[in-house]
A and B are shown apart, each in its own frame.
Chain A
Amino acid sequence: MRREIVAVVLICAFFALAAYYQANITQNLDHPREREVNVNYAQYVGQNVTISGIVVSAGAQSFLLKAVQGTYEIVSSEAVQPGDRVTVLGTLQAGHQLREVTMLASSPLLSSLVYVRSFFALIFLVVLFFVSWRFDWRACVFRPREPGRECEQRRQKKGGV
């Protein structure tokens, strides 16, 4: 019972943290994001904002960035390729234009490899975890696996002891 109470307290504390974060993040950001910009575009013109997205087309002095809620023209001399994932910090201008201050671009291959590596790591971790630990459904807890003891228990069950 005590365990359930502690779990509920921890979950409530997490929800409180999340609600506080959600309610105050906009005022505490270093730079507004696309979400804030979209709510009131005119308010942020002339300010530095952060936009992330995928490069749709690239020219010599600018490129088009498809973000979540719109497409922006980024004025920048940085070399990017269509398909690159880019995060730009830049000065917002009228007409969905951004003059780049600093940016980080990543090729589609490199950014997807991060997820591929993480997927294999997750599989490895799950296997490794269940080699050492087993879940006891009756007590609802993880217990260490003790190969000798488990074989003994199985033998006893088979023997009807």
Chain B
Amino acid sequence: MDWMAHLAFVFILCTLLALKWPVFGGRNTVLAMVGAVLPDLFKLYLALPLIFTDYLAPFHIPIGTLLMCGLGALLFEEGTRTRVFLLFTFGMATHYALDALLKHVTGGIMFLYPLSWETWQLQLVRPDNWLRTSIMVAAAVLVYGLLKVRSDRRVGRAERATEETSGNV
């Protein structure tokens, strides 16, 4: 699945979750978005000789991506690393949730590697489906727009309340 769909999906989730848990909002949303593309680091194989494909495969296996989330979190300030790691992991989880829907001729995601080599795939959506991406991007824009209007109204109301209070004094 393309990264636009992954980013739009995690953006929608974070924006909605931030209504209840502010930790998902603001600059933390972008960390979850980074986590959502981390599993696809394995696509580096496109630039490397075929022999390296199997070495890169663990990028696209949850345990391998978790290690990458840990490495990525180390690049942030001490004290924030656990939160960064959890946000990366959240993004990663959304990536696998979307990828599990894809149609494949054979194979799928090895959720339990290295404990099991079993693969899972729901075989619902074609990987080159552009309509799903368009719908997801449109939904992300809609969610962003609605929440912007909502927050602008709140700011307006707060300003009016402040003006009234200062006028009364």
A→B interface (CB under 8 Å):
3, 6-7, 10-11, 13-14, 17-22, 24-25, 28-31, 35, 50, 68, 87-89, 102-104, 106-107, 110-111, 113-115, 117-118, 120-122, 124-125, 128-129, 132-133, 139-145
Interface of A is mostly: helix
- Whether B75 is near chain A, meaning CB under 8 Å from some CB there, is yes
B64 to A17, Cβ gap below 8 A?
yes
**Which residues of chain B are within 8 angstroms of A25 by Cβ–Cβ distance?**
54, 57
- Does the CB pair B3–A144 fall under 8 Å? no
Closest to A89 in B: B105
**Complex contacts, B158 vs chain A, CB 8 Å:** none
Closest beta carbon of chain B to A136's beta carbon, Å: 8
Distance in angstroms between the alpha carbons of A25 and B77 in the assembled complex: 38
Q: Does B55 contact A (CB under 8 A)?
A: yes
- Are the CB atoms of B128 and A122 closer together than 8 Å? no
Contact B57 A21 (CB under 8 A): yes
Residues of B within 8 A of A121 (CB): 2-4, 6-7, 37
Q: A22-B54, A125-B3 are in contact. Are A17 and B63 (CB under 8 A)?
A: yes
Q: In whole angstroms, how far apart are the Cα atoms of A87 and B105 in the complex?
A: 7
Cross-chain contact B4 with A133 (CB below 8 angstroms): no
State which residues 83-119 of B face A: CB under 8 Å: 103-107, 113-114, 117, 119
In the complex the two chains form, is A114's CB within 8 Å of B2's CB? yes
CB distance from A2 to the nearest CB of B (A): 9
Residue from the list A28, A129, A141 in contact with B30, Cβ < 8 A? A129
Say yes or no: is B155 at the interface (Cβ < 8 Å to chain A): no
Report the bound CA distance from A143 to B113 in whole Å. 34
Q: How many residues of chain B are within 8 Å of chain A by beta carbon?
A: 46
**In whole angstroms, what is the CA distance A114 to B46 when docked?**
14
A30 & B106 in contact (Cβ 8 Å cutoff):
yes
A111 to B127 alpha-carbon distance, docked (Å): 8
Residue with the greatest number of chain B CB neighbours at <10 A, chosen from A11, A21, A128: A21
User: Can you identify 22 A-B contacts, CB atoms within 8 angstroms?
Assistant: A14-B67, A14-B68, A17-B58, A17-B61, A18-B55, A18-B56, A22-B55, A25-B57, A28-B117, A50-B106, A87-B105, A89-B105, A102-B105, A117-B2, A117-B3, A118-B40, A121-B2, A121-B3, A121-B4, A121-B7, A124-B7, A132-B27
How many A-B contacts at CB < 8 Å in the complex? 129
Residues of B within 8 A of A7 (CB): 71, 74
Chain A residues in 8 Å Cβ range of B133? 117
Q: Which residues of chain B are within 8 angstroms of A20 by Cβ–Cβ distance?
A: 114
Task: Tell me which of A14, A31, A115 contacts B64 (CB under 8 A).
Answer: A14
Inter-chain CA distance A104–B129, complex, in Å, is 13
Shortest CB distance B11–A (Å) = 10
Are B105 and A88 interface neighbours, CB within 8 A?
yes
Nearest chain A CB to B129 CB, angstrom units: 8
Q: Which residues from chain B contact A87 at a C-beta distance below 8 Å? A: 104-106
Residues in A neighbouring B61, C-beta threshold 8 A? 17, 21
